[in-house]
Structure 1
Amino acid sequence: MSAVAVRVLDTLAGRLVVEASGRGVVRVERAEGVGLEDVADLTAEGEAGAAEVLDAVAEQIDEYLAGTRRDFDVPLDLDAAGVHDEFAREVYREIQHIPYGETAAYGEIGLDAGRPRSARLVGRLCGQVPASFVIPVHRVIRADGGLGSCPEYRLQLLEHERRNVQAGRPVAFPRM
C-alpha cells in the first residue's frame, strides 16, 4: 500500500477527512467528532503527488458545495482504498455515471454493473464507499424511494443538487 497524505477540510457540509496517494483520492468521509486538537494527528504528507491530489479534491468539494461543480474529475486510487473486488469497482464506476440531481435504485446499479439481483450487495458497497462526494452514493436509493443509511445527510446532498438544477444557477449548500 502506498503512503497516503491526509488532510482535514472544514467545508459547508461539515468537517471531512480526505486521504490521497500520488495516484488519486483514497478516502473522503465525514469527520464528526474530530476536534481541532486531532487535526495535527490526522495530517500526513504522503508520497509524491499526493498533496496535489488533495489540493484538487479540496477545491472540487468546495466548488460542488458552492453549486458551481456537478461532477468530480479527480482520479481515485481504489487499490490504496482496499477496493480489490472487480464488481465493487464496477458498482462505484456506475454510481459515478448517475447524473447530478438524479437518483438510481440499488438494483439498477447492480444490473448496470453486470450482476442482476444484487441490490443488497450494492447497498452494502454504498455503505462502505471509500470516497463519498467523488463517488456520489447519495444518489443511490432503495427501490421504494427510501434513502437507506444516513438518510438525513444524503437527503441534504440530494436537495442541494436539486436546488441547483431547479434554480439554473449556483446555489450554495447550507452550512451544517
Structure 2
Amino acid sequence: MTFRFDFAPTPFGDALAVFSEKGIVRFDLSESEDPSVPWLLEDVSRQLHEVPQASPGAADELAHLLDDYFEGAPVRFDEHLRLDWRLVDGFSLAALRTIAEIPWGETMSYGEVAIVAGHPGAARAVGTACRLTPFSIIVPVHRVVRSDGTPGHYGAHPERKRYLLDLESDAARGR
C-alpha cells in the first residue's frame, strides 16, 4: 500500500495529514514551529511500516473543511472524508467511533463515552483513546470533558481544547 502526506493549515499551525487509498489515516497537530521537519513522519512511518511520500495537494479537501470549521460551520468531517481506522483497534476504536457521533457543539463526559462504547467504568481508557487518537479535530475528542463539565486536557495543550469548545459553543449561539 502507498501512503502519502500533505499539510493542512489550522489556527494552531500546519497539521500533518497522512492518507492511504482507503482514506485519511492520521491527522496530527504539530508541536513544532516548523511542521515539515522529518521527525513528524517517524512515528506514523513506524506504525505503517512504510514512509509516506509527499503529495502536495492531497489535503486540499481537508483544508477547505478545516477553513469552514474554524469559521464556525458545523462540519462533520467523517461525512466528507473517509477515515482509515487501521491505526486504532479494540476499545479505543469503539470509544473513538462513539466520540465521532457527538454532535457539533455538544459534549459528553469520559464516563458517558465509556458507557455508550459498551464498557462502563472505562473512563480512563476513553481518556487514553482521546490522547492517542490518530484523528485530531476530525474525530472530535475535544468534545469529551470531565464529569464535572470542565474541559480537561488536550495532549499538552488544554488551551487548544478550550479554543475548540468555545469556537463551537459561540458559533452555536450565533456569535
Normalised by the length of structure 2, the TM-score is 0.80
Cα distance in 1 for partners of 2:126, 2:159 equals 20
CA 1:166 to 1:115, structure 2 compared with 1: closer, same or farther past 3 Å? Answer: same
> What amino acid is aligned across from residue 3 of structure 1 in structure 2?
T
1:76-87 matches, within 5 Å, as 76-79=83-86, 82-85=87-90, 87=91
Check the 8 A contact 2:16/2:35 in 1, yes or no: no
What CA deviation, in whole Å up to 9, does each residue of 1:89-110 have, x standing for no partner? 1211110111111110001001
Cα distance in 1 for partners of 2:31, 2:125 equals 26
Q: Which residue of 2 aligns with 1:21?
A: 20
CA 1:38 to 1:137, structure 2 compared with 1: closer, same or farther past 3 Å? Answer: same
- Which stretch has the larger CA shift, 64-73 or 123-132? 64-73
Count how many residue pairs are aligned between Structure 1 and Structure 2: 159
Q: Which structure is higher in RCO with an 8 Å CA cutoff and minimum separation 6? A: 1
1:5-84 matches, within 5 Å, as 5-35=4-34, 38=37, 44-45=53-54, 54-72=59-77, 73=79, 74-79=81-86, 82-84=87-89
- 5+ unaligned residues in a row in structure 2: which ranges? 42-51
C-alpha root-mean-square deviation of aligned residues, in Å?
A: 2.4
Q: Which residue of 2 aligns with 1:166?
A: 173
Check the 8 A contact 1:15/1:32 in 2, yes or no: no
Partner SS for 1:11:
coil
Check the 8 A contact 2:3/2:53 in 1, yes or no: yes
Normalised by the length of structure 1, the TM-score is 0.80
Cα distance in 2 for partners of 1:113, 1:37 equals 36
Deviation at 1:129, TM superposition (A): 0.7
> What amino acid is aligned across from residue 11 of structure 1 in structure 2?
T
Deviation at 1:36, TM superposition (A): 6.7
Check the 8 A contact 1:105/1:142 in 2, yes or no: yes
Cα distance in 1 for partners of 2:88, 2:31 equals 24
Check the 8 A contact 1:88/1:125 in 2, yes or no: yes
